[in-house]
Amino acid sequence: MASDTGSSAAVNCAVDDNRNTENTRTETVMEVQNLSFSYDGVNSVLDHLNLKIQKGKITVLMGANGCGKSTLFNLMTKNLYPDDGIITLAGTDIDEMGAKEFAQSVAIVHQNNTAPPDLTVEKLVAYGRTPYLKMFQSVGSQNDEDAIDWALNVTNTQKIRKKPVAELSGGQRQRVWIAMALAMETDILFLDEPTTYLDIRYQIEILKLIRKLNQTYDMTIVMVLHDINQAMEYGDVFVGMSGGKIVVEGDPKEAVDSEILYELYGIRLPVAQLDGKKFVVTI
């Protein structure tokens, strides 16, 4: 841990200096309070962790493998349940929310997704309307159709709506899974490593789509990423984790430096400037 280093102190000072103005500008939509979790009941993966997700921001969770970011993601999306502490959504404990109620507020795209080989794009995206359907009810209302069309248009998948998902490229498939999440018409979107397994072209396309969803449609985004440079370019809030704790939180362009990277990943990497933009040299 490098919490006593000059770089961490500078980050903390920046946070302190901006706290009053930041509080007047932002609203917390989800809050993690005193959260602890263990898979075996003995070894803690998360230990009394606290985090506020700001409305209208892109929050990026990062850290080395095993740092706890995926566990935190799964707790915030109700795939796991905490041993201690609570997670609230608009002031309500998410453990007290039913699956449909939660899905009407929070959409999730997981890292690994599968679909039957003959399922078309249109039908997959229609599954996003499930939280609004009653038992034995099928998609078909005007609201359903409008939501599906909007999701396909925003993700630029309208032209492939009749194609089987199995025939799509990796980048197309990721757009379709995002479209299904958008069909839920939520204000919050969680994405678990949305650029994994994609080549660089599709990575950038997906990240630009995410930024569009945030800036044009005011969606609050929480995502796990592995590429530090992508986090600095597309993230508003950088949450760096190590050993089940948050060791740095703030604007990625300000928070990320060589000392923080060493604290998070155990490797010293230079941080440089190019055309006025900060980036990490990873070779």
What pLDDT, on the 0 to 100 scale, is given for residue 150? 98
What pLDDT, on the 0 to 100 scale, is given for residue 131? 94
Q: What are the Cα distances from residue 30, in Å, to 74, 279, 281? A: 14, 29, 33
User: Is residue 95 a contact partner of residue 85, using CB atoms and an 8 Å limit?
Assistant: no
In the chain, which residues have pLDDT < 70?
1-25, 136
> How many Cα neighbours within 13 Å face the side chain of 73?
27
pLDDT above 70: percentage of residues in the chain: 91
Measure the CA–CA gap between 192 and 186, rounded to whole angstroms.
17
Nearest CA-CA partner of 113 in 196, 210, 211: 196
Measure the CA–CA gap between 182 and 205, rounded to whole angstroms.
17
Task: Name the region of 183 (left: φ>0; alpha: ψ -120 to 50; beta: rest).
Answer: alpha
Report which secondary-structure segment, H or E, holds 109. Answer: strand 106-109
What pLDDT, on the 0 to 100 scale, is given for residue 41? 87
Nearest CA-CA partner of 124 in 92, 91, 164: 164
User: Is residue 181 a contact partner of residue 128, using CB atoms and an 8 Å limit?
Assistant: yes
What pLDDT, on the 0 to 100 scale, is given for residue 19? 43
Dihedral sign (CA 137, 142, 147, 150): positive
What pLDDT, on the 0 to 100 scale, is given for residue 25? 59
The phi and psi torsions of 188 (rounded to 5 degrees) equal -125, 135
What pLDDT, on the 0 to 100 scale, is given for residue 136? 67
